[in-house]
Amino acid sequence: MKSDHYSKKKSWIWAFILILLSTKTSSAQETITLQRALEITLKNNLQIKRAQLNEALADETLKQSKWALYPTLNGSSGLNFNHGRSINPTSNGFIDSEITSSSFGLTAKTPLFMGFQRINQIAANKYSLEANKSGTQKAKNDLILNVLTTYLQVLTSQDLLLAAKQQLDYSHQQLDREQKFFDVGNKTVADLSQAKAQVATAELNVTKTQNDLDVSLLTLAQFMERDPALPFGVEKPVVEAEKAAHIAYSATDIYRTALSNFPEIKQAENNSMARYKEINLAKGGLYPQIALQGGLNTGYSNAGNQIGSLADGSPLYANAAPFRSQLNTNFSQTIGASISVPIFNGFSARSSIRNAKIKHEDAKVSEQLVKNNLNKIINQAVLDVRAAEKKYASTQAAYAASKDAFDATEKRHAVGLVNTLDYNKAQTDLNNAQFETIKAEYDLMFRRQTIDFYLGKCLVSDGCK
């Protein structure tokens, strides 16, 4: 019995352990890679969805302009009740009676010549659609760069927080040692105060870096349209081994490559071409417009034809023909052509042409501004990556020198050859050197990723489609 009881108790213990493990696993914090963060952003971000909706509207506008080349066909029907003197629909003569009549018609119309306006409208809408497609890609590019920047800020803050916590632990150890020395009379109040101040500074650094990390994570979650209340972590990407190695970037070559594939350039070029086609569209207002139209019509009336007069002189009508018979009898066909020649319309056509030309010139200026701005950004990016390479190399050297200096100061301080003030200064210099190295590492990573981005190397599988 005791063995069975022990066995059951053991089973309950293992079940409890499994529940705890499963709970811990289910509540584990999600870790998101840079690639995954970019994919989630491109899928969920509302700015991209709005750009895609604008693209869909432009596509629908293009389809409608193509359908406008086809003839129109419309049916019509009417029901009328007349009382008093009116025209008899059957005989076309006047009648003084209540009449119920109905009409049915089918009308078709097709443009034969519209001054090439509809053809030019289709061409302009095609370029507008391409511009909207490039606008969607531009929105994706902007978000990719924003996510990349924020992601690296998270990584930087994480490393800085880790370094700050390590320095805080070390400062606490130093304070404990100073306290022990003070208790036995080997240190002064000033030495103890310096150690306490060092701890307070380290705690402040931890608080600041933790706040920076929280803000960066919040910003990244907002880009991904993710609930900020759901915690997540990020994975540090693999960084090239030789970060300080110089890479020979050519701003001219990068700019030449970007001109052929960057969406801002394509968007500006397509907008310029759309405005050019609108000039030809406006010129169509100077030409005559010719259209062909035709129709089928029939009707019914309950009024009959006058066949005589009564004794009091009032007219005598025959009964109305049957409905189907009247539809056949009243059936008619029409066909015709119309022409509209613009003679004077308040110079509206000329004004439309001038407006279209001005808009085209403005689009060309905007296109050149986009190209100039891209050239400026790329040249600045090349300078930044060169500066980042030099800074990273310098911070590594400075950190190594600060580490050697701190190690030497620590040994001398242990034997009383260096006072606490100088020791704390050496520790502060080491902390600052470590922080600057971390920042320089991620700054170099970002600068090189930016160059790759302008070269058309996508950071996400569907980011450049």
Per-residue HEC secondary structure of the chain comes to CHHHHHHHHHHHHHHHHHHHHHHHHHCCCEEECHHHHHHHHHHHCHHHHHHHHHHHHHHHHHHHHHHCCCCEEEEEEEEEEECCEEECCCCCCEEECCEEEEEEEEEEEEEEECCCHHHHHHHHHHHHHHHHHHHHHHHHHHHHHHHHHHHHHHHHHHHHHHHHHHHHHHHHHHHHHHHHHHHCCCCCHHHHHHHHHHHHHHHHHHHHHHHHHHHHHHHHHHHCCCCCCCCEEECCCCCCCCCCCCCCCCHHHHHHHHHHHCHHHHHHHHHHHHHHHHHHHHHHHHCCEEEEEEEEEEEEECCCCEEEECCCCCEEECCCCCHHHHHHHCCEEEEEEEEECCCCCCCHHHHHHHHHHHHHHHHHHHHHHHHHHHHHHHHHHHHHHHHHHHHHHHHHHHHHHHHHHHHHHHHHHHCCCCCHHHHHHHHHHHHHHHHHHHHHHHHHHHHHHHHHHHCCCCCCCCCCC
Residue 396 in any domain: the answer is yes
pLDDT, one tens digit per residue, over 336-366 is 999 999 888 888 889 999 999 999 999 999 9
Residue 430 in any domain: the answer is yes
- pLDDT the model gives residue 15: 44
What mean pLDDT do residues 235-239 have? 71
What mean pLDDT do residues 28-33 have? 79
What's the alpha-carbon Rg for the chain, to the nearest Å?
42
Residue 78 in any domain: the answer is no
CB neighbour list of residue 317: distance below 8 Å, 6 or more residues apart: 95, 97, 303, 304, 305, 306, 307
Least confident of 243-257, 302-316, 323-337: 302-316
Question: Measuring CA to CA, how many Å separate 294 from each of 72, 89, 319, 333, 343?
Answer: 11, 22, 33, 8, 26
- pLDDT the model gives residue 245: 61
Which CATH number is 139's domain given? 1.20.1600.10
pLDDT, one tens digit per residue, over 187-232 is 788 888 888 898 898 899 999 999 999 999 999 999 998 988 888 9
Domain span holding position 275: 30-70+114-287+342-454
- pLDDT the model gives residue 104: 92
Q: Of 458, 447, 442, nearest to 155 (Cα)?
A: 442
CA distance 294 to 74: 11
Residue 274 in any domain: the answer is yes
- pLDDT the model gives residue 174: 81
| pLDDT score of 16 more than 50 | no
Amino acid (1-letter code) at residue 404: D
| pLDDT score of 125 more than 90 | yes
CA distance 440 to 392: 5
Residue 80 in any domain: the answer is no
CA distance 432 to 452: 30
Tokens 């119920």 correspond to what residue?
A: 100
| pLDDT score of 19 more than 70 | no
Residue 459 in any domain: the answer is no
Q: What's the whole-model pTM score?
A: 0.73
- pLDDT the model gives residue 22: 43
CA distance 291 to 114: 8
Residue 66 in any domain: the answer is yes
Tokens, residue 217:
């994570």
Question: Measuring CA to CA, how many Å separate 350 from each of 278, 281, 285, 289?
Answer: 13, 12, 8, 17
CA distance 244 to 135: 36
pLDDT, one tens digit per residue, over 414-435 is 887 887 767 777 887 888 888 8
Residue 457 half-sphere exposure toward CB, CA atoms < 13 A: 8
Number of domains the chain contains: 1
Residue 313 in any domain: the answer is no
- pLDDT the model gives residue 366: 94
CA distance 237 to 40: 17
Q: Of 195, 168, 201, nearest to 179 (Cα)?
A: 195
| pLDDT score of 316 more than 70 | no
